[in-house]
Amino acid sequence: MTTESAYDPELMAAVTDLGDAVRELVQATVRTTVGPGQLTAAAARAREVSRGLLTSTRNRHELPALDDPIAFRRVFSPVTGVGSAIAPPLRIRRDGAGVVAEATLGLQYEGPPGFLHGGMSGLLMDQLLGSAAVAADRWGMTAHLELDYRGPVPLQTPLVFRAWVAEEDGRKTTVLGSVALAADPDRVLVSVQGLFITPREEQMTAYFGEITDAHGRHTPPGRATDATALHPGSDA
């Protein structure tokens, strides 16, 4: 059980707002049928917005100001990040012995026409399974991930994602999960199994030794963040 650090609520609101706006833009670029002239004009305006943002940037070893790696708050996670235009974003919360998230996914995640890209199930479920491990106080990095696709997952349709710890063995945690329609939650469309391993101390140092927070301070991840992030509203 960890206590989440305080953050600047004004900055959080602004990062969330920009994440929402750029996420909408990503989907608009995929759905639009306007002509080449309008597309090119839109590209020029998007580049102007980028230029303004890039006047001040962080590097790869510096965590975002809003992140809290100990409490697993990662605002730019490509799955759960409120500031990530790639993420749906999934809002993962505890539910019974595991975790759950609901989402309706747009055309930007398409694989076969009308259906979710098979690899997107891998991206989203890796996070769900990792979060289930964290919810059981067993953080680890993904060592093995296995997905069985039983039926195609439709876009623009409410979905439910679940994960729960199946087995604990020293530094190893086995987690199971599923993707289903919200309207038919017992018919599993994608069944998932993952093995998460908590790195040894020397691996932690090798992997994350250079990471600093936004103030340049070294932040040894006591329980390092991975991509896992339970929703701030949860009690993880």
Cβ closer to its own copies: 221 or 232?
221
CB of 30 to its own copies, least distance (A): 5
CB of 73 to its own copies, least distance (A): 13
Q: How far is the CB of 93 from its own copies (least distance, A)?
A: 19
Q: Give the three-class secondary structure for 228.
A: coil
Long-range contacts of 75-78 (CB under 8 A, 24+ apart): 75/12, 75/15, 75/19, 77/127, 77/227, 77/229, 78/123, 78/227
Q: Which is nearer to its own copies, 62 or 168 (CB)?
A: 62
Give the pairing type, strands 98-104 and 93-95: antiparallel
Q: Partners of 161 in the beta sheet?
A: 101, 179
Distance of alpha carbon 194 from its chain centroid, rounded? Answer: 16
Closer CB to its own copies, residue 112 or residue 158?
A: 112
Cβ atoms of residues 210 and 152 within 8 Å: no
For residue 54, the minimal CB distance to its own copies (Å) is 5
Nearer to its own copies, 96 or 195 (CB): 195
Output 36 or 96, the one with its CB closest to its own copies: 36
Residue closer to its own copies (CB basis): 137 or 210: 210
Element (H, E) at 46: helix 36-53
Residue 79 CB, nearest distance to its own copies (Å)?
A: 7
Closest CA to 106 of 77, 86, 92: 86
CB neighbour burial string for 168-180, b if at least 16 within 10 angstroms, e if fewer: eeeeebbbbbbbb
Shortest distance, CB of residue 146 to its own copies, whole angstroms?
5
Taking the complex as a whole, how short is the minimal distance between the CB of residue 65 and its own copies, in angstroms?
7
Cα 214 versus chain centre, distance: 20
For its own copies, the closer CB: 102 or 110: 110
Q: Are 138 and 194 in contact (CB under 8 A)?
A: no
